[in-house]
Amino acid sequence: MASLLDSEAQFRQRAKECRLSDAAFQDLTRLGLTSFGLLAYSFGQPGQNIADDSFNAWVRQDVNPTITLADSAALKRLLFEAHTLVMASLKEQVIAPDAAASKKVPATERESKMQHVRNSLTGLLIEGPLDPGHSLLDACAQMHFTNEIKYLAPERCVSRMHEVTHQKSPAKQVEIDSDRLIIKERNEIPDEAAHSALQVKESLERRGIGLVFADLVSYASYSKYLTTLFSHMHRDPPQGYARTTVSQIVSADKAVWAKLLEDGVRPRRDQAGALPLDTCLMKALESYMVSFTLLPMPQHKKPAASAASPKPKAAVKTPQFNKVAKGKGKSKGSNKGPRVPYQIIQAGGVGKTPDGSNICFKYNIEGCNDATDGASCKRGKHCCAKCFASHSLKDHS
């Protein structure tokens, strides 16, 4: 991925903002000066003053003899910014080399690259649930920058819609830069729910678009990998065995990327211009280590009830830590949980999860918008008070 110094789209946008005419920009393009990094070393040396006489002579001789004064001033401004960006980049590489790998993709570069991806994938509608979030695109770009395999879990492959609607308020953090303390804002984006087969498939498709955006894989190869992976859910299992579940699909996907990391695959294009992931993804999926995670599991059979003497179902006992006597509050010094509403007790629900976490009663009775399904708000966890799954008690079947 192109950085701020090497991005042609960012350079073109900045030239327009500096009011450089199209004719003058075409002169720079003809000379091959299409980025800040190239312009910085076309005249002078970064870190030194730009002499007016030498600059005017260079512009008249190499760029355009009939250049206007406005274009000459705009070009000088771009040259000064290019020198400044080069010096700042070199300083960052020396003082904090890891910070360069965690930088975000410039906005103009991201928009230009995503427009190119949309134009190339004409049969795919990249919007709504398939529109990858900016954090996902940045993670794929960092993988390209470091040239190292990194596993992106389905819940971390958020969509742009989820990123906008669930973004938390930025938190302040203090960082040490050389001999200074810098206060920066850190934006945290919660994970997106990926429990059902559709949610997992959409998450992995967004990850594939992000990898195509970072030029790490071709969409045809990734689509083949995804189709082969999910085809295991359609296989008829042997008698006494269950079908392949969604959790097995996620485990297999994680095992594939672990195999790629084990084999030392470098995701960037090789010297021949080929993408290693185009062939290594399917090769890792077909390995025996990944195949074990996709095998059908034995089906748990329920004991058949006797037809001659049917026994009544035993009443579901409420756990001891959730029982509350009628008409009595919590006793002094008691370690019992909060009062459980009558609607939840009547439906056989409890007030805490097996690990002792509180359950949000509002979420189970009338609905709560303070957190997503499976997450936690200030009242407790958003899960079913009866089976502890990621849905409310009113949706329990």
DSSP sequence for 184-218? EEE---PPPP--SHHHHHHHHHHHHHHHHHTTSS-
**Contact, 130 vs 205, CB < 8 A?**
yes
Greatest CA separation for the chain: 108
Residue 236 Cα to chain centre, angstroms: 33
Give the pLDDT of residue 323: 43
pLDDT digits (tens), the chain, 397 positions = 567 788 888 888 888 889 999 998 898 889 888 888 888 888 888 888 888 888 888 888 888 888 899 989 999 999 998 888 888 888 777 776 666 556 788 888 888 889 999 999 988 889 888 999 999 999 999 998 888 999 999 999 999 998 888 876 665 666 665 556 566 656 677 788 888 899 999 999 999 999 999 999 999 999 999 999 999 998 888 888 888 999 999 999 999 999 999 999 999 998 888 999 999 999 999 998 898 899 888 887 665 554 444 555 555 554 444 444 444 444 444 445 668 888 888 888 888 888 888 888 888 888 888 888 888 888 888 888 888 888 888 778 6
pTM: 0.62
As given in the structure block, the two tokens for residue 201 are 């498939």
Give the pLDDT of residue 118: 92
Q: Give the phi and the psi of residue 239 in degrees, each rounded to 5.
A: -65, 130
Round to the nearest angstrom and report the end-to-end CA distance of the chain. 48
Give the pLDDT of residue 122: 85
Give the pLDDT of residue 221: 94
Give the pLDDT of residue 10: 86
Give the pLDDT of residue 319: 47
Distances (CA, A) of 110 to 9, 37, 190, 247, 288: 9, 18, 22, 33, 38
- Torsion of the alpha carbons at 73, 79, 85 and 88, rounded to the nearest 10: -100
- Helices 69-95 and 8-17 pack at an angle, to 10 degrees, of 140
**Contact, 1 vs 145, CB < 8 A?**
yes
Q: What share of the chain is helix, strand, coil (3-state, %, to 5)?
A: 50, 5, 45
Give the pLDDT of residue 177: 56
**Contact, 1 vs 146, CB < 8 A?**
no
Give the pLDDT of residue 391: 83
What is the spatial distance between Cα 16 and Cα 223, in angstroms, rounded to a whole number? 38
- Torsion of the alpha carbons at 257, 263, 269 and 274, rounded to the nearest 10: -100
Going by C-alpha positions, the residue among 81, 141, 96, 148 that lies closest to residue 117 is 141
Residue 345 Cα to chain centre, angstroms: 40
Rg (CA), the chain: 29
Give the pLDDT of residue 178: 53
Q: Who contacts 339 (Cβ-Cβ below 8 Å, separation ≥6)?
A: 324, 329, 330, 351
